[in-house]
Amino acid sequence: MTKQSYAEMVNQCRVLVDALRANRETMPQSLREQFTNKLDGDLAQIVQLNKLQEKLKADLKEQTAKVEALSKSLQTQYAEAKKRIKLDVPADRWREFGIEDKR
């Protein structure tokens, strides 16, 4: 048996809730009002949580792109500064700048 997708599960739960409500009087006591209301409430909650999760995923992608761009800029600046230090500062002072290179 394959696992249901999120959309299939939500759709099947909606159909089930509607059918339980439509056939309320013929359902066993354990599937009446209280169960149906809990199922419907949980369904509404999972839909809201999924929306929030999708928004957070989009925000994360946006932030990741910003971090990657800034990281690339930082690496470029570091390489430029390191190159200038190696050209303009005596080698015995490179360690002061965190440069462990020998030449």
Condensed to tens digits (0 to 9), the pLDDT of residues 64-101 reads 999 999 999 999 999 999 999 999 999 999 999 999 98
Q: Is the pTM of this model over 0.75?
A: no
What is the overall mean pLDDT for the chain? 95
Q: Please, which pLDDT band fits residue 1 given cuts at 50, 70 and 90?
A: low
User: What token pair was written down for 102?
Assistant: 């020998």
Q: Are 19 and 40 in contact (CB under 8 A)?
A: no
Question: What would the mean pLDDT of 53-58 be, rounded to a whole number?
Answer: 98
- Spatial separation of the C-alpha atoms in residues 75 and 67, rounded to whole Å: 12
pLDDT at position 2 is 76
- Spatial separation of the C-alpha atoms in residues 9 and 20, rounded to whole Å: 16
Three-state secondary structure of the chain: CCCCCHHHHHHHHHHHHHHHHHCHHHCCHHHCHHHHHHHHHHHHHHHHHHHHHHHHHHHHHHHHHHHHHHHHHHHHHHHHHHHHHHHHCCHHHHHHHCCCCCC
- Spatial separation of the C-alpha atoms in residues 75 and 8, rounded to whole Å: 46
